[in-house]
Amino acid sequence: MPSELAIRAHWAKRLWAIKGFDSEAEFLERGTCFACGMDGSERAHIVARSVGGSDGCENLHILCGVCHKDSEYLDGERYMAWLVQRSPVDRLMSGAIRCGFNPATMMQLNT
């Protein structure tokens, strides 16, 4: 399995600007989730090994635990669209919902 740095180096040119980093160098030096930009260090397969995905850098991203879980059933174009759109707010909401937060209840309280 490639190191985090090797995976970052493989994806840096394609992802640093899309995900809002100031430079390719910043993308390389930070231990952040490719999707939400928060702390992340889990190696995640873009195409699952169970359906033929490899352990090469071209098929791995670095994600936080929440984003890794949220991306499990996505692949190919659906995964890449999710990755590009994913924000820290999406990650925080997903984590909160998993802990029992119900946004619908909050909306009812405000009406």
Summarised one tens digit per residue, pLDDT across range 65-93 is 999 999 998 988 899 999 999 999 999 98
The tally of domains found in the chain comes to 1
| CA distance linking residue 10 with residue 75, whole number of Å | 19
For 20-65, the pLDDT digits (tens) are 888 999 888 878 999 999 999 999 999 988 889 999 999 999 999 9
What is the Cα–Cα distance from 22 to 111, expressed in whole angstroms? Answer: 41
pLDDT at 111: 56
Query: Which pLDDT belongs to residue 99?
Result: 82
Residue 105 has pLDDT above 80, yes or no: no
d(Cα 61, Cα 34) in Å, to the nearest integer?
A: 7
Can you give the residue range of the structural domain that contains 10?
A: 4-109
R_g of the chain, CA atoms, integer Å: 15
From CA 91, how far away is CA 99, in angstroms rounded? 13
